[in-house]
């Protein structure tokens, strides 16, 4: 409810205020003899505002650009690794959706390990559509499904990074081996030089 007490000089009002579509909507109800009667009228205005606000938000939710950001990601959906003590990391799609006309934020996770990446992504999009009341063949759902390559690419990128990490470790191991061999060879050469020098000194002093 968006009803506030408001004072204008000596006069008392209820201010009814809501904003949607980048515009502010407000009305004032003068409190005269009965505060209760004025508040009842303010609630009627607020109910009218709320209905218009919800209708606007529902219309916006039908638009693909409402759900798909300019970077190709879906509003409220991300792919993460959940790490718990004593357990292996779990690859999941995390949904945190703020449906404007609902009071609570909707949350859930869908396991990539259980369903596989493609099915898990599809289930995630379906859940978003369920929460927004979008039809299976709506433009918004089709637009979200078209973002799949970006989310599935993250798995391939992760595997490539793991491969690179293994290669780097392998290269480091090779480099360490080469360095040890070079160090050992240098020690042997120094020892040989010292041995030759000592022999020369002995011949010279004999």
Domain boundaries, the chain: 3-61, 71-154
Q: What pTM did the predictor assign? A: 0.65
How do residues 146-175 score in pLDDT, each as one tens digit? 999 999 886 555 554 545 555 545 555 555
> How far is residue 206 from each of residues 175, 193, 195, 203, measured CA to CA in Å?
47, 20, 17, 5
Distance CA 72, CA 58 (A): 22
Cβ contact 133:67 at 8 Å: no
pLDDT at 205: 47
Tokens representing residue 57 in the block: 């938000």
Contact 14, 35 (CB under 8 A): no
How far apart CA 8 and CA 43 sit, in angstroms, is 20
Per-residue pLDDT of the chain (206 residues; tens, 9 = 90+): 689 999 888 899 999 999 998 899 999 999 999 999 999 999 999 999 999 999 999 999 999 999 999 999 999 999 998 888 878 888 999 999 999 888 899 999 999 999 999 999 999 999 999 999 999 999 999 999 999 999 988 655 555 454 555 554 555 555 556 556 655 665 666 566 555 545 544 554 44
Quote the DSSP letter at residue 181. H
Measured at the CA of 74, the angle between CA 149 and CA 116, to 5 degrees, comes to: 45
pLDDT for 204 equals 44
> Shortest CA distance to 76 belongs to which of 59, 58, 93, 53?
93
For the chain, the C-alpha Rg in angstroms (whole number) is 35
Q: What is the pLDDT of residue 139?
A: 95
């Amino acid at each position: 409810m968006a009803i506030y007490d408001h004072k204008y000089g000596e006069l008392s009002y209820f201010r009814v205020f809501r904003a949607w579509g980048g515009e502010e909507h407000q009305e004032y109800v003068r409190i005269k003899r009965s505060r209760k009667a004025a508040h009842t009228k303010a609630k009627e205005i607020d109910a009218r505002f709320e209905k218009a606000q919800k209708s606007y938000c529902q219309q916006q939710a039908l638009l693909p650009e409402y759900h798909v950001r300019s970077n190709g990601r879906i509003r409220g959906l991300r792919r993460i690794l959940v790490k718990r003590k004593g357990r292996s990391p779990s690859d999941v799609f995390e949904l945190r959706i703020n449906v404007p006309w609902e009071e609570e934020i909707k949350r859930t996770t869908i396991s990539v390990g259980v369903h596989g990446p493609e099915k898990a992504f599809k289930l995630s999009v379906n859940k978003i559509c369920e929460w927004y009341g979008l039809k299976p063949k709506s433009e918004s759902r089709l637009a979200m499904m078209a973002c799949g390559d970006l989310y599935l690419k993250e798995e391939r990128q992760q595997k490539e990074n793991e491969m690179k990490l293994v290669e780097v470790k392998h290269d480091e191991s090779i480099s360490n081996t080469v360095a040890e061999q070079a160090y050992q060879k240098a020690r042997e050469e120094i020892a040989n030089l010292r041995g030759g020098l000592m022999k020369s000194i002995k011949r010279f002093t004999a």
